[in-house]
Chains A and B, each alone.
Chain A
Amino acid sequence: RKEVEQDPGPFNVPEGATVAFNCTYSNSASQSFFWYRQDCRKEPKLLMSVYSSGNEDGRFTAQLNRASQYISLLIRDSKLSDSATYLCVVDEKLTFGTGTRLTIIP
């Protein structure tokens, strides 16, 4: 099993919809979790950290489920500008998932 796994997608979602995707991890001792977004042919950029109690930043909500060993990212009222690949990162080793590609359709 890979250390970090993501559904590669693509997720094609109409503008204004809510979309969620998960990232599973194998190391139960993992402590640090992040979501990054990467636009086509650009560098990854930090979107948000994921805290144990869950956290929200505007239209974005990140959750951690330690029992099932996954983190999730929820995007509400999706915008065309949300189209990107979303990468999860787990642990001090900074292990990246392969990313989930999201396309918002007008």
Chain B
Amino acid sequence: DAGITQSPRHKVTETGTPVTLRCHQTENHRYMYWYRQDPGHGLRLIHYSYGVKDTDKGEVSDGYSVSRSKTEDFLLTLESATSSQTSVYFCAISESANGPYEQYFGPGTRLTVT
């Protein structure tokens, strides 16, 4: 299995509080992604990174920010959590000479915003 870890694995937080989720990889892959998965919507891309300090928005980026200061770490921040951000968050990595293909996922973080 690809070396991807996510922390925390579970978190319960209150509306309005800031939350940071961490994704850590040991594969030295160039691309990293954050998705959320909700019933009826499948996996939706929040943000992705194509290198250190290089990030871009995905389909559902509102309310989220990211940072990547090292190849191995990709942080997802909810500046002020809302109940609509209750979800399962997956980090993924990929490496290809021709683009961001075949992804490998971390174990996920279950976030509940009360």
Contacts and interface: CB of A to CB of B under 8 A. Distances in A.
B43 A44 contact: yes
A32 B99 CA distance: 10
Interface stretch (A52-60, A64-72, A75-83, A95-103): A95-103
A46 B100 contact: no
Contacts, number: 42
B62 interface: no
A68 to B, nearest CB: 22
A49 B42 contact: no
A96 B41 CA distance: 9
Nearest to B94: A94
A92 B101 CA distance: 7
A43 B102 contact: no
Interface residues of A, number: 18
B104 interface: yes
Contacts of A34: 101-102
A43 B40 CA distance: 17
Given A97-B42, A98-B42, A43 B100 contact: no
A1 interface: no
Interface stretch (B12-20, B63-71, B73-81, B105-113): B105-113
Contacts of B83: none
12 contacts: A32-B101, A42-B107, A44-B90, A45-B104, A45-B105, A49-B101, A92-B99, A92-B101, A94-B33, A94-B103, A97-B42, A98-B42
Interface of A: 32, 34, 42-46, 49, 87, 89, 92-99
